[in-house]
Every structure is written in C-alpha cells, then in structure tokens.
C-alpha cells in the first residue's frame, strides 16, 4: 500500500453565514468571516490516493491524470469563483473549510477509481495557519 499526493490551488471568494440569521447574529458566530461583501483566500488542495504500485509503470497512478480529474471536477469550478454563489457542489451549504473538504471528497471519490486507486485524504489549507483533513468517514 502506497500513498501519492497531488497539490492543486484555487483562489475563491466566500462568506460564512446562515441565511436564517441576521447579519448581527452571523457576525456574533462567524466574526469577520461573515462579511456580507465577501472575502477570499488562496486555497491549497492536497488530494491523496492509496493503493498498490503497478509493476508495469512503477506508479500507483499517473499524477498527470489525477491532476486532470482534480481540475475538471474541482478547481475549474472553484478558481476565481464565489464559493457560495457559483459552485454546484457547495450550493446550500455553509462554506466552511470543513464542508468544502467533505464536498470535494464526495465529488472525487468515484472519478479517481478509474486511476486504479482509492481516495485516502482531502486536505485543504485556507491560510498558512489553518488546515482541514477529511478521510471519508
């Protein structure tokens, strides 16, 4: 069993808030992250696959193919976008890094199987001081 990780990046706007709360209530819970005029981040995404090395290539999976899947399914939809308004797999969800990691897992879990590997971990760095990891359960 070996683990390979591909790093991809995207820049997005978001806002943490509940639509059933007033701006004041959202500010109390989410602080400046609830700014109604949005803010944004350079997000760094790490996708880790696990499985066995294929003897004919020496690869667990071709990282170029993994990158293609991540860009098509995830970062092309998030990059230079508003996470709350424009990203299909985040619609109706609180735009926290936790929910983003879980949602990306759900989107990628099936497509990466065509590479002959299993999804192991989604890690997202929101700032240099914060990151979230999700292992699918």
If DSSP codes are grouped into helix, strand and coil, which group holds residue 63?
Answer: helix
Considering only CA atoms, which of 51, 120, 110, 43 is closest in space to residue 77?
43
The distance of closest approach from Cβ of residue 23 to its own copies in the complex, given in angstroms and rounded to an integer, is 14
98 is catalytic: no
Q: Which residue carries 């609180």 as its tokens?
A: 94
33 is catalytic: yes
Q: Is 96 in the site for its own copies (CB under 8 A)?
A: yes
By CB under 8 A, the residues from 98 to 127 that bind its own copies are 98-99, 101-102, 127
Rounded alpha-carbon distances, angstroms, from residue 119 to 35, 67, 98, 134, 137: 34, 13, 17, 10, 12
Q: Is 30 in the site for its own copies (CB under 8 A)?
A: yes
If DSSP codes are grouped into helix, strand and coil, which group holds residue 130?
Answer: strand
Out of 23, 28, 38, 91, which residue is the one contacting its own copies (CB under 8 A)? 38
Cα–Cα distance for residue pair 5/80, rounded to 1 Å: 23
Q: Is 92 in the site for its own copies (CB under 8 A)?
A: no
Give the distance from CA 101 to its chain's centroid. Answer: 4
The distance of closest approach from Cβ of residue 111 to its own copies in the complex, given in angstroms and rounded to an integer, is 19
Q: Is 72 in the site for its own copies (CB under 8 A)?
A: no
126 is catalytic: yes
| Residues contributing to the site for its own copies (CB under 8 A) | 1-9, 11-14, 16, 18, 29-33, 35, 37-42, 48, 53, 56-60, 63-64, 67, 79-82, 85-86, 93-99, 101-102, 127-135, 137
């Amino acid at each position: 069993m070996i683990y390979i990780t591909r790093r991809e990046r995207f820049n997005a706007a978001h806002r943490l808030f509940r639509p059933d709360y007033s701006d004041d209530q959202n500010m109390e819970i989410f602080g400046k992250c609830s700014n109604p005029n949005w803010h944004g981040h350079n997000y760094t995404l790490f996708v880790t696959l696990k499985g066995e090395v294929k003897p004919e290539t020496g690869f667990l999976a071709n990282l170029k193919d993994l990158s293609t899947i991540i860009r098509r399914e995830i970062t092309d939809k998030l990059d230079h976008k508003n996470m709350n308004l424009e990203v299909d797999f985040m619609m109706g969800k609180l735009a926290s890094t936790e929910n983003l990691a879980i949602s990306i897992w759900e989107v990628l879990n099936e497509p990466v199987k065509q590479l002959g590997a299993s999804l192991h971990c989604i890690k997202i760095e929101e700032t240099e001081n914060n990151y979230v990891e999700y292992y699918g359960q």
